[in-house]
Structure 1
Amino acid sequence: MYSANRLLNLFIKVFNILEKGSDFVNKKMKVAVMLDIEKMGFESRDIPQPKDNEALVKVEYVGVCGSDLHYYEFGRIGDYIVKPPYVLGHEAGGTVVAVGKDVKNLKVGDRVALEPGKTCGHCEFCKTGRYNLCPDVIFFATPPVNGVFQQYVAHEADLCFKLPDNMDTMEGALIEPLSVGFHAAKQGNAHLGQTATVFGAGCIGLMSMMALKAMGVSTVYVVDVMQNRLNKAKELGATEIINGKDEDAVQKIMELTHQKGIDLSIETAGTEITSRQAIKVAKKGSTIVFVGYSKSGEITLPMSMALDKELTFKTVFRYRHIYPVAIDAVSSGKVNLKGVVTNVYDFDDIQRAMDESVHNKDTVVKSVIKII
């Protein structure tokens, strides 16, 4: 039997939760929508109400991902086709403003990073811990599921990771791409004593480089053809930067390693040229992790060389069980997450944010939308 005091405290707790949630009933929020190819607009929509196991989060920052830009520029990625009006954005950080009655791990006022994929929990991949491969995942900004370029989102509480006091919600938003970088490094079994190369110095390449460094890899070379991105890589800790336009990347890497080659390469550019380079600079018995998607979906590789070297190929699809690791890496100072950001835009300027991110790749490395 419950004591009278315990029942009273339970009633007060439930009442406070319901009262907080009721603050948003029948209220409207501002939502940025993709209206057509390279055309953004705004709509007013109902603020979602959290289910029993969900938290209502006031979205404060959303990172602009390469997939957002691809949908914006082309209207589709493979079989995933945008049907306007459509909400982009899946890299979100914000503050909890209400919780469902079954939520125990969060409270109003907690700042959180949102892992964007809800999985089924019962398929063979979920049951074996590889939930990123769940065929029934519901993932923000993956058609037909809308994203989070909006002021509020109701999300499963177990996918809302509380941020420590020394992290803000912009960093919370950027935990998502950092998790891709950590997953790539973990797929390659990154460890102390290795020499690594990252091909591509876009956001994911930079995140991969910082993940490698955080996991103990002291020597990391970064290859790209855009000098501003290489400068950013150097600023964030790259041992050496190599501009593939100005010099032979393979020759330079072999010189740097005294002809020994590379222990671990992470390919994030998604081009045939960089994929072939990764094989050519690989040390015998080493590993290459492929992260970047090619535009055509197919590339030709020197497989005889790969066979002779007995290389291990690994690939990356999103991430799994990474958010706590990534948050700790930022909180402990091992990763300078904000250092990747080159552009921050107000919510009202989202059209300009998307346009500049698509068309000014020589200057824009990573954009973030400030929703608050």
Structure 2
Amino acid sequence: MSIVDRSQKMQVASLVGLSQVVVDYDTIPDVLPNEVLVKVEAVGICGSDIHYYQHGHIGARKVQYPHIQGHEFAGTVVEVGEQVTNFAVGDRVTVEPGVPCRMCEKCRSGKYNLCDQVVFLSTPPHKGALRQYISHPEDFVFPIPDELTFEEATLAEPLSVAIHALKRANLRPGMRILITGMGPVGLMCVCAASFYNASEIVVTDMVKHKLQVATELGATSTIEIPLETIPEDYFDIVIETSGARPALQSGIRALEKGGKLVSIGFPKDAEVPIDLTMMLQRELDLITVYRYANTFPLAISILKELKEVVGTVITSTFELEHIDEAMKKATETHLDSIKVIVYPNKSGKKQNTE
């Protein structure tokens, strides 16, 4: 069953050059037997989207123009493939954007985020979700409860990063945790740390508004950088989300002996010096995080629990026809901007039938 008119073309946001994004048109995708077609209702702009937008690459991954960004999204099922059993037209869903091969050793061991063949939406050369419709395998699509808005449901993706990070760190109830950088992922780490019953959740940022939001989400205390200093030799776990070199160094000093430094944020430079001598003498663990695996159901549950406060992370919304303004707003991370949401299907423009 389908409720989509394929004589029409859908609108897409095309990245056509550095910091240049325009509204374009493309054909509505067909669905494979195991796929659903999702009408995209809300897309969150991610830090990686900003990086590709401004710099055209992350490490060796380079944008091939024109490119469609976006991988944090939610929407409505409008068509199902003939083999689909878990979804029906009209279901509200969010989508896990990385689809692995399901057959390699990494996939079979549960570490499918490390699969060499993973197709991750918006990571070049794979197109993303800043478009009106997208097809996706049903086993990487998840229902969202009526209590969550589409905007709130987009946060399941960054919250999944946070859950994966805390699982990697083996956070246990009663531990003291420091989270540096209150962008969307940092704020989602606050949510996850609160869920896992950390005894102290201390957060840092340079923007007061972000620290206020962190407090609403469960942070027990805040540190405004650079005005206030970070305690040394105190925390069991430090979660570093900014990728900033000073944050990594201060994070090492903040850990007590035997502590764990968890690095999430990509640094500006590929090589970053760290005080390895201090880490050796204090037997500190360095843990890195790359995306996530088997986290979406829990992320949705946590978002439902935090329904009353999680919306504070969303600071701006735009229709697709204003995608250029949306991307520029998303780059203002040094200001009050946190999470920018784009609505691909609220555009005032008519669909192009040419």
Interval of TM-score (by shorter of Structure 1 and Structure 2): over 0.9
Aligned partner of residue 268 in structure 2, secondary structure: coil
Hey, what does 2:101 align to over in structure 1?
120
Residue by residue over 1:235-294, the C-alpha shift from the partner in whole angstroms, topping out at 9 and shown as x without a partner, is 322111111211222xxx24xxxxx61011101111221111111111111212111111
Matched, 1:221 2:194: no
Instruction: Tell me whether 296-305 or 223-232 shows the greater mean CA deviation.
Output: 223-232
Q: Structure 1: which 5+ runs fail to align?
A: 1-16, 255-259
List 4+ stretches of structure 1 deviating above 6 A: none
What aligned pairs does 1:148-159 form with structure 2 within 5 A after superposition?
A: 148-159=129-140
Q: CA deviation at 1:336?
A: 3.7
Partner of 1:132, secondary structure, is: helix
Q: Percent identity?
A: 37
More helix by share: 1
Out of 73, 77, 80, the residue aligned to residue 99 of structure 1 is 80
Of 151, 158, 167, 2:148 maps to 167
Query: 1:344: which partner in 2?
Result: 317
**Contact 1:24 1:49 (8 Å CA) reproduced:** no
Give the corresponding residue for 2:249: 276
2:351 equivalent in structure 1: none
Alignment of 1:173-212 (within 5 A): 173-212=154-193
* Inter-partner Cα distance in structure 2 for 1:305 and 1:335: 42
Corresponding residue number in structure 1 for 2:65? 84
Contact 1:210 1:335 in 2 (8 A): no
Q: Which entry has the higher C-alpha Rg, 1 or 2?
A: 1
AA aligned opposite 1:95: T
Could you say what secondary structure the match of 1:193 adopts?
coil
User: Which secondary structure state, in structure 2, belongs to the residue aligned with residue 342 of structure 1?
Assistant: strand
Which deviates the most, 357-366 or 306-315? 357-366
Amino acid of the structure 1 residue aligned with 2:329: E
| Mapped partners of 2:333, 2:160: distance in 1 | 25
Distance in 1 between the 2:327 and 2:307 partners? Answer: 30
CA–CA distance in 2 between the matches of 1:330 and 1:363?
22
Q: Given that residues 132 and 318 in structure 1 are in contact (C-alpha distance below 8 angstroms), is that contact kept between their aligned partners in structure 2?
A: yes
Q: Which residue of 2 aligns with 1:368?
A: 341
Kindly indicate whether the alpha-carbon contact (under 8 Å) linking 2:6 and 2:28 is maintained by their aligned counterparts in 1. Answer: yes
Count of residue pairs brought into register by the alignment: 345
- Measured after TM superposition, the shift of residue 218 of structure 1 is 3.0
CA distance in 2, matches of 1:130, 1:26: 41
Counterpart of 2:283, as a letter, is E
Which one has more relative contact order, counting CA pairs under 8 Å at least 6 apart? 2
Query: What SS does structure 1 have at the residue aligned with 2:203?
Result: strand
Question: Is the 1:52–1:102 contact (alpha carbons within 8 Å) kept by the matching residues of 2?
Answer: yes
Deviation of 1:229 after TM superposition, in Å, equals 2.0
User: What is the TM-score of this pair, normalised by structure 2?
Assistant: 0.94
Contact 2:23 2:320 in 1 (8 A): no
Output the aligned Cα RMSD: 1.5
Offset from partner CA, 1:93-140 (integer Å, 9 cap, x none): 000011000000111111111000111111111111100000111111
Amino acid at match of 2:280: L
Contact 2:216 2:309 in 1 (8 A): no
Alpha-carbon contact 1:63-1:369 (below 8 Å) kept: yes
Indicate the larger mover: 99-108 or 179-188: 179-188
Residue of structure 2 equivalent to 1:13: none
Q: Which moved more, 1:220-229 or 1:319-328?
A: 220-229
> 1:24 matched to which residue of 2?
5
Distance in 1 separating the partners of 2:141 and 2:178 = 33
Where 2:11 maps in the other structure, the secondary structure is: strand
Aligned to 1:47: 28
Q: How high is the TM-score relative to the length of structure 1?
A: 0.89
Measured after TM superposition, the shift of residue 231 of structure 1 is: 2.4
Is 1:303 aligned to 2:296, yes or no? no
